[in-house]
Amino acid sequence: MDIVNLASAQQAVALLFSEPQYWLVVIPGIIIGLFFGATPGLQTSMAMAIFLPMTMYMDFLQAMLFLTAIFTGSGFGAGVPAILMNIPGTSSAIATAFDGYPMARKGEHNEALGLALGSSTFGVLLGYILLFFLIKPMSLFVLKLGPSEMFIVILWGLTLIASLTGKHVVKGLIAGLVGLLVGTIGFSDNGILRGTMGLDILADGIPVIPAMMGMFAASELFKLVKSEFLVEDESQRKVRISYILKGFRKAFSYPVILIRGSLIGVIIGAVPGVGSSVSNLLSYIETKRRDKDPDSYGKGNPKGVIASESANSTSEAGSMATLLALGIPGGGATAVMLAAFAMHNITGGPQFIREQMDVVYAIIFANFAQAFLLIILGLLLIPVLASIIKVKMTYLVPSVLVLATAGSFGLTGNMSGPGTVLVFALVGWVFRRYNFSVPAAVIGMLLGKMAEGSLVQTLQISGGEFSYILQRPITIAILVLLIFSLFGSKLIEKLTKKAK
């Protein structure tokens, strides 16, 4: 099988430079993505959905370049509030906050932003290079993942996330289980009502994004009320391009973390429905697990920021692989792109790959250019986005609460959003106080419905027979990895002691 079609690649280059309007939409797209990503509560998919109608007046390639530019800008933009305010702009920047925010509290916000920019641009670039070479093999592999594999992948992801809590793994697993149960509240896909405790307001389920904002952001703000500034030392509150560039360069001094994060991002991003929300956490966990000093994570370790940002940016390319090759969106953002496909009467999948490979390559090549444009636009706009560090906490705390509340209202269209932020702020405060993992609970909520759907489909296919699992080698392989994640480190520790 030919992995790369050189003739189509040449046609793609000619196509991209045949019309200047293809490039005119890229810069506005990146700027839109940066601002939407940097504003908590405004998701990448929301930005793309708002601007989707504009693509009706573009041809298909121009529309895809505009939407992927928003996707690229938002991937980095989401890391800015995660670093400066401990509020992930989107769920794909959750792990960025773990060490980015402690770095900001220590006055290293410039370096952290530079690390995020360097990792993001590297992730976008490597992700699309991998997509260029692997789009056909990846599409064949994704087809082999059935509901049983998806269910075990979700459980494995939660197991890994629970290990973030170090000595409190059991509490992490409990938090993840609670998150999964919360994620299944309301009507199921089959119309069955669960977990509402008789409250009609819960029939549509818990709005996950407002819940995430409450658990991550609002509960953290309770701790900041007595502080005067986010960074106490006045000399460290300045936004300096030279320090941002220093962080940018520093990101490339950890090539193993960058490449490993990018590979995780591409693979996880290619799994429909999982995407960057999980890839950044898995990359962070794997980096922490392999580090000689895992206890330094969560306290401002630059490698944590690099691991997260390289993975969430690369997952864009992974989700594009399933969209282009299979016509299946990898998440909310690619679902909007699928709508753009439909608006232009184009169906993704093997036929699209076979007949319009030049367009596929043109999209990939244009994203190489977007990675470099992101560096320029990111450096120009970071001072604007980072000016938040100079605002007094007496103004910042209520402003962020108002922003989170307004953003949650915008997401739900009613008071259930702000109410959810308030309730889950209290839940997050209790979780933090008693060492239950907030990230595990949030990821559980994000994946609850998917886990339930995969489990139900597995039971329907298997007829409830456990022997069905034994016929699925990929499921068994992932199950072994899950068990190894739980007990592997202790087993290796015991074997090492015996060997000594």
Q: What is the pLDDT of residues 206-243, one digit of tens each?
A: 887 778 778 766 776 776 677 777 666 666 567 778 88
Instruction: Please tell me the predicted confidence (pLDDT) of residue 389.
Output: 63
Instruction: Please tell me the predicted confidence (pLDDT) of residue 442.
Output: 77
Q: What's the mean pLDDT in 373-388?
A: 80
Q: Which residue has the higher pLDDT, 268 or 350?
A: 268
Burial tier of 293 (Cβ tally within 10 Å: 0-12, 13-18, 19+): exposed
Beta-carbon neighbour count of residue 326 at 10 Å?
A: 21
Q: What's the mean pLDDT in 276-303?
A: 83
Instruction: Please tell me the predicted confidence (pLDDT) of residue 106.
Output: 84
Instruction: Please tell me the predicted confidence (pLDDT) of residue 263.
Output: 86
Q: What is the pLDDT of residues 24-42, one digit of tens each?
A: 889 999 988 888 777 665 6
CA angle 460, 461, 462 (to 5 degrees): 95
pLDDT score of 273 more than 80: no
Instruction: Please tell me the predicted confidence (pLDDT) of residue 80.
Output: 82
Which residues, other chains included, contact 188 with Cβ-Cβ below 8 Å and sequence gap of 6+?
194, 452
Q: What is the pLDDT of residues 108-117, one digit of tens each?
A: 888 888 898 8
Q: What is the pLDDT of residues 317-356, one digit of tens each?
A: 777 777 776 666 666 677 677 777 877 888 766 677 777 8
DSSP character for 186? Answer: E
Cα(251)–Cα(309) distance, integer angstroms: 10
Q: Which of 131, 108, 32 is nearest to 76 (CA)?
A: 32
pLDDT band per the 50, 70, 90 thresholds, residue 11: confident
Q: Which of 48, 52, 17, 53 is nearest to 30 (CA)?
A: 48
Q: What's the mean pLDDT in 181-207?
A: 83
Instruction: Please tell me the predicted confidence (pLDDT) of residue 271.
Output: 66
Domain locations in the chain as residue ranges:
6-493
Cα(267)–Cα(139) distance, integer angstroms: 11
Most confident range (mean pLDDT) of 226-230, 364-368, 412-416 is 364-368
This prediction has a pTM of: 0.69
Cα(331)–Cα(33) distance, integer angstroms: 16
In total, the chain counts a number of residues equal to: 500
